[in-house]
Amino acid sequence: MAKQTAARKSGSRGGGTLQKIGALAEGVARAAHAGEAPSIEVPTRAKSNTTWDRKRGILRMGDATQTRELFNLNQAKGFMQTVLHAAGIKELLEADKTLSLRAMFYKGLHTIPGTKEKTFADQDESDAVLEDLEVTLGSLREELHVFAKKAGTMVGNITIEDSGDEIDCRRMGSGGYAIPSIVEPDVIRFRKCDAKFVLHVEKNTVWSRFNEDRFWQQHNCILTEGGGQPPRGVRRLLRRLNQELGLPVYCLLDCDPWGHYIYSVIKQGSISLAFESERLAIPEARFLGLRAVDYQRCDLSDDVQIALNDKDIARAKQIAAYPWFKDKPAWRREIDQLLRNGFKMEVESLITKDISYVTETYVPERLKAKDWLD
């Protein structure tokens, strides 16, 4: 505990956020003392307030805000919930502890005195208020000491320090280092890194194939996976590896709308959490495969085909219309080809060529030829 506390305190995560919560509370108190209606301005988290910053290559939140007033029947509960969670986070920061989203829901949950009403109807309501607090305070959820379920693993040519422990990711066996939910610089520090790039794969079963074949050792890289759609901890870690160490990030994902969407979120951020793109998106991330053309190019058998259903087709068209895909002829061709093929393909289907085709042939050839989508 002592060590971890020391590691945290040396960072500035808690301090700045505490000040911001203090300022929020003071604003409310000042209004109350002045006989005015206390209110909080919460930036609007909606598609209507999301803009595509083409120059920076990320989604950004606009300037629209919503007011939450205490003395407005429609806004009073939201106001109360926001202040309640702000107080809870202050307590977390002062105790230098972190809590899960689920635990934060329980922490804020109680019956409002004099009524039969609960402070939160369910965890969804609590989660939404925490997202409001993120944008209101301009602090990432991680800076509020709140985390979600973790997922994702890492191995490779890098040593990191996690809460004061030195972890050599070259010596993590078959299991790997479990990427935590919070990877801010006061928790995770980068030490010796020899890796030249990061290979990020979608599934941990594929990751195991690459790790078993010691791909990261042979190709001098870092190997990560995010259990499907990577959680924020994984995205933030990839972003830090890219920004702070200058490592290119290559993504190996399925050839289907879900794979394209995962890539899009890693690269540009997500519409629902555009605020976080500033610190989570990796505009330089590249899509290494699978590509729709691989069916011919790799001479795959029809065993790899999984027919697109109506939902897939609708989703593919939706993704093709994203401004960040629409402007890119190569991506338009990719999605067109997927739709013309009429089928999706999984990375694991490359096993039909050979057990280690994906690690020994597919990825090395793509990397050598710099053959990826951007």
Query: Contact with a copy of itself (CB under 8 A): which of 41, 91, 124, 374?
Result: 91
Q: Is 326 in the site for a copy of itself (CB under 8 A)?
A: no
**DSSP of 229-271:** S--HHHHHHHHHHHHHH---EEEE--BSHHHHHHHHHHHH--S
Q: Is 203 in the site for a copy of itself (CB under 8 A)?
A: yes
Q: Is 339 in the site for a copy of itself (CB under 8 A)?
A: no
Q: Is 115 in the site for a copy of itself (CB under 8 A)?
A: no
Taking contact as CB under 8 A, which single stretch among the options 50-58, 201-209, 287-295, 313-321 is the one that binds a copy of itself?
Answer: 201-209
Taking contact as CB under 8 A, which single stretch among the options 133-141, 181-189, 312-320, 331-339 is the one that binds a copy of itself?
Answer: 181-189
- Per the CB < 8 A criterion, the answer to whether 248 and 198 are in contact is yes
Token duo for residue 305: 């085909």
> What CA–CA distance (Å, rounded) separates 237 from 188?
9
CA-wise closest residue to 146 among 189, 190, 106: 106
Q: Which entry of 106, 263, 295, 362 is annotated as an active-site residue?
A: 106
> What CA–CA distance (Å, rounded) separates 108 from 100?
12
Q: Is 186 in the site for a copy of itself (CB under 8 A)?
A: no
Please say which residue, 16 or 164, places its beta carbon nearer to a copy of itself: 164
Taking contact as CB under 8 A, which single stretch among the options 47-55, 124-132, 278-286, 300-308 is the one that binds a copy of itself?
Answer: 300-308
Q: Is 351 in the site for a copy of itself (CB under 8 A)?
A: yes
- Per the CB < 8 A criterion, the answer to whether 272 and 45 are in contact is yes
Q: Is 194 in the site for a copy of itself (CB under 8 A)?
A: no
> What CA–CA distance (Å, rounded) separates 69 from 83?
11
Q: Is 9 in the site for a copy of itself (CB under 8 A)?
A: no
> What CA–CA distance (Å, rounded) separates 130 from 135?
9
Please say which residue, 167 or 373, places its beta carbon nearer to a copy of itself: 167
Number of H helices, E strands in the chain: 16, 17
Please say which residue, 65 or 100, places its beta carbon nearer to a copy of itself: 100
Please say which residue, 182 or 338, places its beta carbon nearer to a copy of itself: 182
Q: Is 118 in the site for a copy of itself (CB under 8 A)?
A: yes
Q: Is 73 in the site for a copy of itself (CB under 8 A)?
A: no
Q: Is 14 in the site for a copy of itself (CB under 8 A)?
A: no
Q: How many residues does this entry show for the chain?
A: 374
Instruction: Tell me how many residues contact a copy of itself (CB under 8 A).
Output: 66
Please say which residue, 85 or 203, places its beta carbon nearer to a copy of itself: 203
Please say which residue, 53 or 125, places its beta carbon nearer to a copy of itself: 125
Please say which residue, 215 or 331, places its beta carbon nearer to a copy of itself: 215
x/- track of binding to a copy of itself for residues 144-173 (CB under 8 A): ---xxxx--x------xxxxxxxx---xxx
In three-state form (DSSP H/G/I as H, E/B as E, the rest C), the secondary structure along 12-75 is: CHHHHHHHHHHHHHHHHHHHHHCCCCCEEEEECCCHHHEEEECCCCEEEECCCEEEEECCCCCC
Please say which residue, 107 or 344, places its beta carbon nearer to a copy of itself: 107
Taking contact as CB under 8 A, which single stretch among the options 95-103, 279-287, 317-325, 363-371 is the one that binds a copy of itself?
Answer: 95-103
Token duo for residue 101: 């989203």
362 catalytic? Reply is no
Residue 30 burial by CB count (10 A; 0-12/13-18/19+): exposed, middle or buried? exposed
Query: For tokens 């995770």, what's the residue?
Result: 188
Report the SS3 class of residue 325. Answer: helix
Q: Give φ, ψ of 247 to 5 degrees.
A: -85, 130
> What CA–CA distance (Å, rounded) separates 105 from 369?
50
Q: Is 236 in the site for a copy of itself (CB under 8 A)?
A: no
Question: In angstroms, what is the minimal distance from the CB of 231 to a copy of itself?
Answer: 11
Which residues are catalytically annotated? 106
Q: Which residues bind a copy of itself (CB under 8 A)?
A: 1, 4, 91-92, 95, 97-103, 106-107, 109-111, 118, 147-150, 153, 160-167, 171-182, 187-188, 203-206, 208-209, 212-214, 217, 301-304, 346, 348-349, 351-352, 355-356
